[in-house]
């Protein structure tokens, strides 16, 4: 995280002062030429920025939902004897200079990166930089978008899924107008808003999230049949 300044935002009734910080996204997208859907968040939370990967808060339900939909547990934490999280002994040298916590984090990131690519899922966020209070999407100001078109043009992505109302709103405002000028309008590149998997969205339970997110797998399967 690249913090350039911090200012105080007027607190909501009954709350303490909140600090607005300028933050950079901090890590790149996960994608390759065979990606078929793009899953977009708004901006990584502090936990995700520390982990340098997507949906990194331990109580975020994105990865459990993905594991259930694809019947693939490889995106979940590995056992204690699987040092690199992949069962591949070739990676152990790379991780040998890290402490145990760093190894576990690096292993989990690699497992999730491979999971996404194996299932033709691209991962990114709408925002490249913004001013924000903690992980509060509602506090986002001065947002600068990522260059979403750069991976759309070089992959098989046919559908965008926004993980929450704020991501959907920001995508429509910051990304969609530019994409339309390049020929990726709502018909060519539809966007579906999904419920947030954040722990802040406690009103949506895991079964409801799984039902909603199944559309990701359905879209991937459908796009594969059309090739």
Mean pLDDT, residues 212-223 taken together: 96
Instruction: Count CB atoms within 10 A of the CB of residue 54.
Output: 25
pLDDT digits (tens, 9 = 90+) for 149-192: 999 999 999 999 999 999 999 999 999 999 999 999 999 999 99
State how far the Cα of 167 lies from the Cα of 108, in Å rounded to an integer.
24
pLDDT digits (tens, 9 = 90+) for 39-83: 999 999 999 999 999 999 999 999 999 999 999 999 998 765 444
Indicate the domain borders of the chain: 27-72+119-126+145-226, 75-112
More confident residue, 222 or 38: 38
Lowest-confidence region among 18-32, 83-97, 153-167, 210-224 = 83-97
> For 217, how many CA atoms within 13 A lie in the half-sphere containing its CB?
13
State how far the Cα of 25 lies from the Cα of 28, in Å rounded to an integer.
8
Mean pLDDT, residues 97-111 taken together: 85
pTM score, whole prediction = 0.84
What is 27-72+119-126+145-226's CATH number? 3.40.470.10
More confident residue, 132 or 227: 132
Q: What pLDDT sits at residue 62?
A: 98
- The conformation of residue 171, written as its DSSP 8-state character, comes to I
């Amino acid at each position: 995280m690249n913090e350039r300044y911090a200012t105080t935002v007027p607190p909501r009734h009954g709350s303490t002062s909140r600090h607005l910080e300028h933050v950079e996204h901090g890590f790149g997208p996960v994608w390759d030429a065979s990606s078929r859907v793009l899953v977009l968040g708004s901006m990584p939370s502090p936990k995700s920025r520390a982990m340098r990967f997507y949906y990194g808060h331990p109580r975020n339900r994105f990865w459990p939902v993905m594991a259930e939909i694809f019947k693939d547990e490889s995106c979940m934490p590995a056992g204690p004897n699987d040092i690199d999280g992949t069962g591949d002994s070739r990676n152990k040298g790379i991780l040998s200079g890290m402490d145990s916590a760093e190894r576990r984090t690096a292993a989990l990131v690699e497992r999730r990166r491979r999971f996404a690519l194996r299932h033709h899922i691209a991962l990114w966020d709408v925002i490249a930089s913004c001013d924000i209070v903690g992980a509060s999407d509602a506090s986002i100001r001065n947002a600068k978008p990522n260059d979403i078109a750069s991976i759309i043009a070089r992959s098989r992505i046919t559908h965008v899924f926004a993980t929450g109302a704020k991501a959907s709103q920001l995508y429509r405002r910051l990304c969609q107008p530019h994409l339309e000028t390049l020929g990726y309008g709502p018909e060519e590149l539809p966007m579906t808003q999904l419920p947030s998997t954040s722990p802040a969205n406690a009103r949506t339970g895991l079964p409801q999230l799984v039902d909603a997110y199944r559309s990701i797998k359905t879209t991937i399967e459908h796009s594969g049949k059309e090739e």
